[in-house]
Chain A
Amino acid sequence: DAGVIQSPRHEVTEMGQEVTLRCKPISGHNSLFWYRQTMMRGLELLIYFNNNVPIDDSGMPEDRFSAKMPNASFSTLKIQPSEPRDSAVYFCASSTKDSYGYTFGSGTRLTVV
């Protein structure tokens, strides 16, 4: 299994631009999570999906952030417009069951200048 695949690995963009992060979960995993990690705030859950349906998006910072999961093998996290404070590492993770833990992708390191 290739694991959770995220793209791009690095993204540098100018303030105000739209950013789209992509994730392919492990086949057969029915839950998908988007996390953001910064030195100041640690790992924060942004949103998670169960069977492609958004279950909890209370962690999404504001309306500039949106996430979709059109099918079981693909999800996107979009930031529009991006701001310098959005600079962070964004991780996608997937799992089959709460008690099994998560498998994380390698992350996307986003820098907004």
Chain B
Amino acid sequence: RKEVEQDPGPFNVPEGATVAFNCTYSNSASQSFFWYRQDCRKEPKLLMSVYSSGNEDGRFTAQLNRASQYISLLIRDSKLSDSATYLCVVNKGSGKSTFGDGTTLTVKP
């Protein structure tokens, strides 16, 4: 079993739709959680950190459920520019992070 698992998708949604991604992690001792965005042929970029209390950044909301060991990302009012691969990342506090394989999102006009 992989340490971090994501539904690879692809998710194809129309502009304006709400879309949610989930990610599960296997190590209950994990301490830090993130969502990264990666555009085609580009480097991953930090989208947002994820906290137990949940956090929101504009149209993006991230949630962490430690009991069930999953992380979610909700995107409201999808834009064409949101099309990318979204990577779930977990850090055990050991100094290194484990990346999921990513979920591909395509937003269509």
Interface residues of A (CB under 8 A from B): 31, 33, 35, 42-43, 45, 48, 50, 55-56, 91, 98-99, 101-107
The dominant DSSP class at the A interface is strand
Closest CB pairs A-B (n = 9) = A104-B43, A101-B46, A43-B99, A42-B101, A99-B32, A98-B91, A101-B34, A104-B44, A98-B32
Interface residues of B in 75-89 (CB under 8 A from A): 87, 89
Q: Is the CB of B95 within 8 A of A99?
A: no
Q: Total interface residues on B, using CB and 8 Å? A: 23
Interface residues of B in 81-109 (CB under 8 A from A): 87, 89, 91, 93-102
Q: Is the CB of A48 within 8 A of B46?
A: no
| Interchain CB contact (< 8 A) of B95 among A35, A48, A103, A105 | A48
